[in-house]
Amino acid sequence: MRRGACPSLATPMQTGDGLLVRLRPATDGLTPAELRALADAAAACGSGIIEVTARGNLQVRGLTAASVPALAAAIGEAGIAVATGIVIETPPLAGFDPNEIADPRPLAAALRAAIAGRRPALALAPKLSIVIDGCGRFHLRDSSADLRVEAQNSDDGFRWLLSLGGTARSERTVALLETERVVPAVMEILAGLDSLGAAARGRDLDADRIRKRLSADIGAFPTIERGALPFLPAGIHDFGDGRIVLGMALAFAQTHSASLIAFLHHAEELGATEIRLAPRHGLLVLGLSREAAAVAQRLALSHGFLVAADDPRNHIATCAGLACASALMDTKAVAGLLLDVGADLLDGSLAVHLSGCPKGCARPTASALTLVGAPSGYALVVNGAASVAPSAYTDEDGIKAVLAGLNALVRKNKDAGESARSCLTRLGAARIAAAFEQG
């Protein structure tokens, strides 16, 4: 299922609760004052609902055709530069993280300049994305991308690994390049995509042909240690030399501007200097001492933010729900019910995906359990994405009992020390579907 263009200030998207605008700051982060001004504008021009997406972009909801220009003006008055054009992503702490093999920002800037200066201009898919990863602690190896450029150290020295499509686990590696060769190589690949048409993506490229073109002098690519899964942003992270980062996330990807503004006032008083948007709906607060970060963390929790990796809300992925015109489920309400009755399911071993429709915007990849809004109630997908054929259905009445039944299935059947994921895997899809339909 291929989606269209991303919403922006120039092209907002109509949703169930008005127009939606997605913003990518052109700078590494925002000052507390800048983000506060943006939140003020979200309340004045829209519904006040602010989202941070799974990829770390900021969204403002509930706008109208008349209020979008006012939002744009407020953003300009606050001095916030918004990125446009092809999405080139770097890790949220690029240039700050001492664990990086290399700072990816200069390479990203050089590539942006090359794309902007290219004549004739490239006509590429609206959702095409490029990841340039310095491979620090907070990497982007599980973020999908059409093109991925990843810093690597080897016995032969430092180079950049260039791959096509997917995440770092499913991509097709095509070249290992010195820094000066990266931009020309990527521009050559983008020109190839341009020739295939405006809908072409990285998955449509011939990896073997590109590999032969760029790596004729290289034998087998080295085996690369991919490292751990990407971080959950919540927590206090110590990078040494007094560099403390407070990680927090938006519960179910949303907050209200009033809650964000109140927290930012406190954080700035405690010494916060910069806020960086992060994947998994995260906000990373820089400039705090360890003691101040602990205080700010408690304040963030009081305003409804996620501040700990063991918070069960981390393990529920929800889309916008009824705020979207396509949705057939109030995902936020169902998430609340799951929190009430799903303690055994939400042990951290799996993610439960609540999707208003089969598009699966909140989590395009497979989940152990996916609940999808359906015309007559709810559909359950076991070990799949929202778009695949459901394993079971239930009507819209009694969903809390249905969720409690799934939780009881795990509680009654898991062995000592066994995780919910392991238990469900052992029980199998048919047993899970039966429990869902019985409620």
In this predicted structure, the answer to whether residue 297 has a pLDDT above a threshold of 60 is yes
Per-residue pLDDT of 306-343, as tens digits, reads: 999 889 999 999 999 988 888 999 999 999 999 999 99
Per-residue pLDDT of 386-400, as tens digits, reads: 999 999 999 888 899
Could you tell me which CATH number the domain at 13-85+231-309 has? 3.90.480.10
Please give the share of the chain, as a percent, with pLDDT higher than 70: 94
pLDDT band at 168 (very low <50, low <70, confident <90, very high): low
Q: What is the pLDDT of residue 167?
A: 67
In this predicted structure, the answer to whether residue 171 has a pLDDT above a threshold of 50 is yes
H or E element, residue 33: helix 32-45
Per-residue pLDDT of 250-267, as tens digits, reads: 999 999 999 999 999 999
- Residues 6 or more apart whose CB falls under 8 angstroms from that of 320 comprise 15, 16, 17, 51, 61, 253, 254, 327, 331, 356, 361
- Residues 6 or more apart whose CB falls under 8 angstroms from that of 293 comprise 236, 244, 245, 246, 285
Query: No. of H helices and E strands in the chain?
Result: 11, 19
What SS3 state is found at 382? strand
CA distance 371 to 379: 6
- Residues 6 or more apart whose CB falls under 8 angstroms from that of 28 comprise 94, 95, 96, 105, 274, 276
In the chain, the largest separation of any two C-alpha atoms, in whole Å, equals: 64
In this predicted structure, the answer to whether residue 247 has a pLDDT above a threshold of 80 is yes
Please give the share of the chain, as a percent, with pLDDT higher than 90: 81
Which CATH architecture best describes the domain 314-438? 2-Layer Sandwich (3.30)
Per-residue pLDDT of 124-167, as tens digits, reads: 999 999 999 999 998 998 888 999 999 999 777 899 999 998 66
Helices assigned H by DSSP within 125-222: 179-196, 207-214
Residue ranges, CATH 3.30.413.10, the chain? 101-134+144-214, 314-438
Q: For residues 186 and 202, is the Cβ–Cβ distance under 8 A? A: no
Q: What is the pLDDT of residue 217?
A: 55
> Counting beta carbons within 10 angstroms of the beta carbon of residue 279, is it exposed (0 to 12), middle (13 to 18) or buried (19 or more)?
buried
CA distance 301 to 147: 37
**Mean pLDDT (whole number) for 255-283:** 97
Residue ranges, CATH 3.90.480.10, the chain? 13-85+231-309
Q: What is the pLDDT of residue 219?
A: 54
- Of the ranges 82-91, 286-295, 335-344, 359-368, which one carries the lowest mean pLDDT score? 359-368
CA distance 133 to 141: 8
pTM given for the model: 0.90
DSSP, residue by residue, 73-96: HHHHHTT--B--SSEEE--TTTTT
More confident residue, 285 or 15: 285
Could you tell me which CATH number the domain at 101-134+144-214 has? 3.30.413.10
CA distance 149 to 253: 28
Q: For residues 226 and 169, is the Cβ–Cβ distance under 8 A? A: yes
In this predicted structure, the answer to whether residue 421 has a pLDDT above a threshold of 60 is yes
- Of the ranges 58-72, 215-229, 257-271, 344-358, which one carries the lowest mean pLDDT score? 215-229
CA distance 55 to 300: 21
Q: For 230, which DSSP code?
A: P
Beta-carbon neighbour count of residue 310 at 10 Å? 12
Cis status of the peptide bond prior to 233, with omega within 30 of 0: no
158 forms beta bridges with 153
Per-residue pLDDT of 39-61, as tens digits, reads: 999 999 999 999 999 899 999 99
Q: What is the pLDDT of residue 186?
A: 98
In this predicted structure, the answer to whether residue 351 has a pLDDT above a threshold of 70 is yes
